[in-house]
Amino acid sequence: MADDLSAVARFLYEAGTLKDTARTGWWMAGVKQPESVAEHSWRTSLIASIIAKLEGADPARAAFLAVWHDTQESRTGDVNHLGKKYASAADPEAVTADQTAGMPAALASVVRELVAEYEAKDSPEAVCARDADKLECMLQGIEYKAQGHAAAQRWIDNSRARLTTETGRRLADELLGQDPLGWLRSALGERD
Q: Is 1 within the bounds of a domain?
A: no
Q: Is 121 within the bounds of a domain?
A: yes
Q: Are the C-beta atoms of residues 124 and 52 closer than 8 Å to each other?
A: yes
Per-residue pLDDT of the chain (192 residues; tens, 9 = 90+): 678 999 999 999 999 999 999 999 999 899 999 999 999 999 999 999 999 999 999 999 999 999 999 999 999 888 877 887 787 778 999 999 999 999 999 999 999 999 999 999 999 999 999 999 999 999 999 999 999 999 999 999 999 999 999 999 999 999 999 999 999 999 999 986
Q: Is 192 within the bounds of a domain?
A: no
Q: Which of 125, 106, 155 is nearest to 47 (CA)?
A: 125
For position 88, which CATH number holds?
A: 1.10.3210.10
Q: Is 58 within the bounds of a domain?
A: yes
Q: Which of 71, 64, 49 is nearest to 128 (CA)?
A: 49
Q: Is 178 within the bounds of a domain?
A: yes
Segments forming the whole domain that contains residue 19: 6-187
CA distances from 89 to 85, 115, 141, 145 (A): 9, 15, 24, 29
Q: Provide the number of structural domains found in the chain.
A: 1
Q: Is 120 within the bounds of a domain?
A: yes
Question: Dihedrals φ, ψ of 36, to 5°?
Answer: -85, 165
Q: Which of 166, 168, 165, 142 is nearest to 154 (CA)?
A: 142
